[in-house]
Amino acid sequence: TGETLWIYMSGFGNEFSSEDPRCPGALPEGQNSPQVCPYGLYAEQLSGSAFTCPRPANKRSWLYRILPSVKHKPFIAAPCGDLTENWNEVEPDPNQLRWLPFSIPTPTKKKVDFATGLHTICGAGDAKSRNGIGVHIYTCNASMVDMCFNNSDGDFLIVPQQGEILITTEFGKMLVEPNEICVIQQGMRFSVDVFGATRGYILEVYGAHFELPDLGPIGGNGLANPRDFQCPVAWYEDRHVAAGYTIINKYQGKLFACQQDFSPFNVVAWHGNYTPYKYNLTNFMVINLAFYFPLQPPAWPALELPLLFALGNCMSEFMGLIKGHYEAKEEGFQPGGASLHSIMTPHGPDVDCFEKNSRAELKPERVAEGTMAFMFESSFSMAVTKWGLQTCQTLDKNYYQCWEDLCSHFDPSWKPSKQ
């Protein structure tokens, strides 16, 4: 990526406006769709919500582009590879599941870009009824050339694990590095450039957009602060592509492709609150201004906290490790791998972690230094795909053994100590 200085606008769900400095005054003044737009541009509205929904929930942006997005050849079916919404490929498996790091293809053997390197590992629901989720892995080694991706089914939350990715969108460019996440919302076209072996995770949601949780008793500050979210600034290319530019569209769980003879990233200016955005996980703040915690904290002040085994959890928990060592399972849970603990399936720290922490002196101690893990938690009972259980060949079939040496510490003669 060289010495490029990337510029962003700050805020979550803000009303933004941006124009490429090469075309000052490209944003119309006082109206969204004038009879003739500045510079002879076309006005388009991209809607992320119903037109008539209440103002706080209304998501839309106006884009002013050189050629309209409707100017393309018809969509035709395209190979889906390992991307799927078929949750009945294999029989259900309630066991604790863990995957070793997912393999990245070698470029000398096969060049794989982001679109062809998508693999669905688990999910639930249905894109047609707009109710459900999918969890995907991406592994690639080549940039997308004269090609972009558009998800008509839902939002992509992308979590890079190895290798930075340069995402070009209709709204501008974002450089997203490991330890950052980004969201490409439904209907937004984007292309991904990579700079070597690249791997990461994706959470796709069909029926809603991502929101920041309410803070409740902790007050007005903490967790993910809106000001730390960043969205791109306008950037356009007026590029004719004689050989054809490919738009890949994910629609009702399948892939389709169409051709056009120009770059879709021809938006000279835009304004609105429906945008792509990114966020640096190191900015996550646990409560008020006391400590900084990512999703799974790298520094944990010692409190008298119980060491929990989550028996009978009514949620599905998909976890990935971006970097470092996850304390509850330091050996088997590796960066670039994952685990899935399904609804009501018991799980928790392995035997080494339990024994170590049961005997440890309760004193201030920093743990998981240099570690970043994340969890996709859902009330959906997620099914694992055939690729996840068989094809990927990284499923750790010995995962259950990390709990086998847990032994009974029950002592019927125990008496409480006198204080």
Residue ranges for the binding site for Fe cation?
317, 347
Question: How buried is residue 97: exposed, middle or buried, by Cβ count under 10 Å (0-12/13-18/19+)?
Answer: buried
Question: What is the rounded CA–CA span in Å between residue 148 and residue 252?
Answer: 18
- Other CB atoms within a 10 A radius of the CB of residue 195 amount to 12
User: Residue 199 belongs to what H/E stretch?
Assistant: strand 198-205
Residue 294 sits at the vertex; the CA angle it makes with 163 and 3, to the nearest 5 degrees, is: 35
Instruction: Answer for the pair 396, 338: CB distance below 8 angstroms, yes or no.
Output: no
> What is the Cα–Cα distance from 162 to 137, expressed in whole angstroms?
12
Element (H, E) at 123: strand 118-126
Which residue in 266, 239, 260 sits closest to 66, CA to CA? 266
Measured distance CA(161)–CA(338) in Å, rounded? 11
| DSSP symbols for 168-189 | EETTEEEEE-TTEEEEE-TT--
Binding residues are 317, 326, 347
- Provide the annotated binding site for homogentisate: 326, 347
Q: Do the Cβ atoms of 303 and 275 come closer than 8 Å?
A: no
Rounded CA-CA distance 179/164 in Å is 10
Q: 249: closest CA among 169, 155, 150, 153? A: 150
Tell me how far apart the alpha carbons of residues 226 and 20 are, in angstroms, rounded to a whole number: 25
Q: Is the separation of the CB atoms in 75 and 258 below 8 Å?
A: yes
**Nearest C-alpha neighbor of 84 from the set 120, 37, 32:** 120
Nearest to 300, CA basis, from 349, 369, 375: 369
